[in-house]
C-alpha cells in the first residue's frame, strides 16, 4: 500500500485494466430487468412508442446521475459513506442509506438466482418436468391442481415455491430452495473472495456470456413460426399511449432502476480507478450499452412471445376445426388452419344455427400476443412454456437459465460491493480480521435473512421487497446525491474536479441537467410515484387452488401488519439521512458552546479588558 502522488491519500486496490472496470459497471447495470422488465413495458405501452419517453429519461435523468456517481467515486476514491462524509458531514446519512438499500436489494435479488438454479438443475431432464402434469397420489390420473391450471404454472407455484394461499400463512422452509439459496450465496462469495481482484476476473464471463446467449436466441427465435408477428407488435408504435402520464412515470423509473444508480455500487467501482480517467466517456458508454441491451434483448423475447402466441392461436383453431369436422361429418384434412376462416364464413352463411350451437372458441392472434407478463412470470412461466414447444427444448432451457444466472450474478457484485466498500473505508472492522472473513459474514447474514423467501409465503414477501425496497428509497437518495454534489460541494468545485480528472470541463448540457433538469425530474417522479401509490390500496396476487375462479390468481389486500412492514421498508433505509444530519448539528452546537465556556480572560489566548482604574494607574 502506498500513496497516490496527486491526492496524498492511501493507495487503493486498482482494476487490472480499463476493460475490467467497464465490464463490471456494465454487468452491474445490465441485469434481469433488461430482459424481463423492459420488454414488458414495451408490450403494455404501445410498442415502439415507449422508446420515446424512455430515451428522454435516459438523456436527462439517467446519464447525468450515472456521470455524477462515477465522477465523485473516482475523485474522492472512497465508498458511498466516505464520499458523502467528505462532501459534508451532514450528508453522511446518504451513504448509510445507499449501503442499506444495497444490502436489502442483494437479499431478495439473490433469491432469484436460487430459483434460476432450481430450474437450471431440472433443465437437464428429458422431458422437461414442466412439460406435463404429474400423476396424483393414487396413480389413477393426473394431479387435479395441475389439470385445472397448466403444467408450467404447477411446476412454478407448487413444485418450486410450494406456495401458500396467502401471505399470512407462512408455511415451512422448503429444503430444496434453502439448498439453492445457499448455493447461490456460495457462488457470490467465491467470486468475491478476493474483492475486485476476483470480481475483475469473473466479469469476463458473467458480463459477456449473456450477450452470446442473446445472440444465439436471436438467431433461433427469428426462424420460429410467428416470430414476425411478435416483432411487428414490438416495433409498431401506438402514439396515443404517450398521452398517458403513467407511461412517462414508468419510463423514468425504469431507466433509473436499470442503471443501478444510488445504491453505492457504481461509486465503489469507480473509486478503484486511476484519478486521471475520462469518467464522462465511461458514463455515456455504460448508459448507452445498458439501454441498447434492453432493446437487443427485446427482439428475441418478442420473437419467442410471437411464436408462443402463434402456437396457442393454432391450437385454438384446431380445437374449433375438430368440433366442426365432427359435427358436420367432414373428412379429415378438409378444414385446415389456412382455410379455417373461409370455411367458418361459409358455414355461418349456410348453417348459422348449427355453428352457434357448437359454442366455438373465439381465436384472435392479437389477444394471445397481448397476454403480457413481467419479472418471474415472464422467466418461469411464459418463457418456460415457450421453450417446451421449441425443438431441442433442454438445450434452450439450459442456455436461458444460465444467461439469467450470469445477468443476476454480475449485478450481485455491485450490490455486495455497495456494502463492503463503505465498511472497509470506515475501518469498522479491525485490520487483523481478513477481508475474506468480513465478506463471508456479510454473505452469511444475507443468506440467513433471505430464508424468509424460502417459506411457502416466500414469493409474496419477494414481491413486497421487489416493489418497495428499490423504489422510494433510491429516488430519495438520488435527490440528495445530486443536491449534495451540486449545491453543497458546489458546481464550481465539481467543475474543477472533473477538469482535474479528464482535462475538460463539463459542457452546458451536463451543467443544466445537474443544476435544474435532473433534480426537477427526480422530484416530479418521486412525488408522482408516492401519489400513485397512495391512491391505490396495496394488494397482491395469490395462488389458491380453493379459489372459485382458479386457475386465475386471487387478488387480496395486504394485511395491516404487512402494510406497516412496507412503510418500514420505505422509511428505514432513508431515515439515516435526517438522523445523521441532526446528530452532526447537535454535536456541532455542543462543541461551540463548550468552546465558549472554555475561554479564559487571564490566559494569553484570551481577550484582556482594561478597566478605567488601570488606565489611570498607567497614566
C-alpha cell at 297: 434483448
Query: Residue 187 annotated as binding?
Result: no
C-alpha cell at 202: 469473473
Query: Residue 34 annotated as binding?
Result: yes
C-alpha cell at 518: 435532473
Query: Residue 258 annotated as binding?
Result: yes
Residue 22 · residue 266 · CB < 8 Å: no
C-alpha cell at 475: 429516488
For residue 214, count CB atoms less than 10 angstroms from its CB and return exposed for 0-12, middle for 13-18, buried for 19 or more: buried
d(C-alpha 158, C-alpha 162), whole Å: 4
* Phi (first) and psi of residue 615, to 5 degrees: -65, -45
371: left (phi over 0), alpha (psi -120 to 50) or beta: beta
For residue 378, count CB atoms less than 10 angstroms from its CB and return exposed for 0-12, middle for 13-18, buried for 19 or more: buried
Residues 6+ apart with CB under 8 A from 357: none
d(C-alpha 494, C-alpha 67), whole Å: 12
Residue 379 half-sphere exposure, CB side, CA atoms within 13 Å? 27
DSSP state of 59: I
d(C-alpha 253, C-alpha 371), whole Å: 23
Nearest by Cα to 511 from 6, 71, 98, 77: 71
d(C-alpha 405, C-alpha 115), whole Å: 10
Q: Which residues of 284-309 are buried (b: 16+ CB within 10 A; e: fewer)?
A: eebbebbbebbebbbbbbbbbbbbbb
d(C-alpha 572, C-alpha 470), whole Å: 12
DSSP state of 302: H
Query: Residue 278 annotated as binding?
Result: no
Residue 210 · residue 203 · CB < 8 Å: no
| Other CB atoms within 10 A of residue 350 CB | 9
Query: Residue 30 annotated as binding?
Result: yes
Residue 423 · residue 219 · CB < 8 Å: no
Nearest by Cα to 152 from 312, 341, 296: 312
For residue 27, count CB atoms less than 10 angstroms from its CB and return exposed for 0-12, middle for 13-18, buried for 19 or more: buried
Query: Residue 273 annotated as binding?
Result: no
Cell 380453493 maps to which residue?
546
C-alpha cell at 266: 457504481
Pick out the residues of the known binding site for Na(+): 27, 29-30, 34, 258, 290, 407, 411
Pick out the residues of the known binding site: 27, 29-30, 34, 258, 290, 407, 411
Amino acid at each position: 500500500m502506498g500513496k497516490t502522488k496527486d491526492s496524498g491519500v492511501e493507495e487503493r486496490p486498482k482494476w487490472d485494466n480499463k476493460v475490467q472496470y467497464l465490464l463490471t459497471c456494465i454487468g452491474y447495470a445490465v441485469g434481469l430487468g433488461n430482459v424481463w422488465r423492459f420488454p414488458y413495458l414495451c408490450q403494455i405501452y404501445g410498442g415502439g412508442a415507449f422508446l420515446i419517453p424512455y430515451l428522454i429519461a435516459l438523456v436527462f435523468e439517467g446519464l447525468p446521475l450515472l456521470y455524477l456517481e462515477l465522477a465523485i467515486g473516482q475523485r474522492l476514491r472512497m465508498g458511498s459513506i466516505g464520499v458523502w462524509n467528505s462532501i459534508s458531514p451532514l450528508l453522511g446519512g446518504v451513504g448509510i442509506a445507499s449501503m442499506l438499500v444495497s444490502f436489502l436489494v442483494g437479499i431478495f435479488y439473490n433469491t432469484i438466482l436460487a430459483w434460476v438454479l432450481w430450474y437450471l438443475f431440472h433443465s437437464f431432464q428429458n422431458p422437461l418436468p414442466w412439460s406435463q402434469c404429474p400423476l396424483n397420489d393414487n396413480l389413477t390420473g393426473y394431479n387435479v391442481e395441475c389439470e385445472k391450471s397448466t403444467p408450467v404454472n404447477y411446476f412454478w407455484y407448487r413444485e418450486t415455491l410450494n406456495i401458500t394461499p396467502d401471505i399470512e400463512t407462512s408455511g415451512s422452509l422448503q429444503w430444496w430452495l434453502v439448498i439453492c439459496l445457499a448455493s447461490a450465496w456460495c457462488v457470490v462469495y467465491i467470486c468475491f473472495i478476493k474483492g475486485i481482484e476476483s470480481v475483475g476476473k469473473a466479469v469476463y464471463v458473467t458480463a459477456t456470456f449473456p450477450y452470446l446467449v442473446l445472440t444465439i436466441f436471436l438467431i433461433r427465435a427469428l426462424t420460429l413460426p410467428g416470430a414476425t408477428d411478435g416483432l411487428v407488435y414490438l416495433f409498431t408504435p401506438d402514439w396515443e399511449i404517450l398521452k398517458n402520464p403513467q407511461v412517462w412515470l414508468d419510463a423514468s423509473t425504469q431507466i433509473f432502476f436499470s442503471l443501478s444508480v444510488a445504491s453505492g455500487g457504481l461509486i465503489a467501482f469507480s473509486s478503484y480507478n486511476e484519478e486521471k480517467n475520462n469518467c464522462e466517456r465511461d458514463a455515456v458508454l455504460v448508459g448507452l450499452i445498458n439501454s441498447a441491451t434492453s432493446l437487443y434483448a427485446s427482439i428475441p423475447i418478442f420473437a419467442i412471445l410471437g411464436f408462443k402466441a402463434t402456437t396457442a392461436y393454432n391450437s385454438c383453431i384446431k380445437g374449433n376445426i375438430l368440433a366442426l369436422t365432427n359435427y358436420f361429418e367432414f373428412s379429415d384434412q378438409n378444414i385446415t388452419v389456412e382455410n379455417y376462416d373461409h370455411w367458418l364464413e361459409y358455414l355461418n352463411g349456410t348453417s348459422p344455427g348449427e355453428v352457434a350451437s357448437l359454442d366455438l372458441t373465439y381465436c384472435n392472434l392479437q389477444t394471445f400476443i397481448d397476454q403480457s407478463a413481467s419479472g418471474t412470470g415472464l422467466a418461469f412461466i411464459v418463457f418456460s412454456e415457450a421453450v417446451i414447444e421449441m425443438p431441442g427444448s433442454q438445450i434452450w432451457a439450459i442456455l436461458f437459465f444460465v444467461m439469467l444466472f450470469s445477468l443476476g450474478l454480475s449485478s450481485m457484485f455491485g450490490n455486495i460491493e455497495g456494502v463492503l466498500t463503505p465498511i472497509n473505508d470506515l475501518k469498522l472492522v479491525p485490520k487483523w480480521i481478513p477481508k475474506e472473513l468480513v465478506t463471508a459474514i456479510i454473505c452469511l447474514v444475507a443468506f440467513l435473512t433471505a430464508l424468509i423467501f424460502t417459506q411457502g409465503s416466500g414469493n409474496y414477501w419477494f414481491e413486497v421487497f421487489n416493489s418497495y425496497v428499490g423504489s422510494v428509497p433510491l429516488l430519495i437518495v438520488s435527490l440528495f446525491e445530486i443536491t449534495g454534489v451540486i449545491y453543497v460541494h458546489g458546481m464550481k468545485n465539481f467543475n474543477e474536479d472533473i477538469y482535474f480528472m479528464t482535462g475538460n470541463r463539463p459542457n452546458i448540457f451536463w451543467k443544466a441537467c445537474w443544476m435544474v433538469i435532473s433534480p426537477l425530474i427526480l422530484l416530479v417522479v418521486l412525488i408522482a410515484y408516492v401519489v400513485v401509490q397512495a391512491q391505490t390500496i396495496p394488494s397482491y396476487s395469490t395462488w389458491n387452488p380453493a379459489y372459485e375462479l382458479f386457475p386465475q390468481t386471487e387478488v387480496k389486500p395486504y394485511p395491516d401488519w404487512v402494510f406497516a412492514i412496507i412503510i418500514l421498508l420505505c422509511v428505514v433505509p432513508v431515515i439515516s439521512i435526517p438522523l445523521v444530519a441532526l446528530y452532526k448539528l447537535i454535536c456541532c452546537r455542543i462543541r461551540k458552546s463548550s468552546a465558549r465556556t472554555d475561554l479564559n480572560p487571564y490566559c494569553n489566548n484570551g481577550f484582556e479588558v482594561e478597566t478605567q482604574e488601570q488606565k489611570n494607574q498607567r497614566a
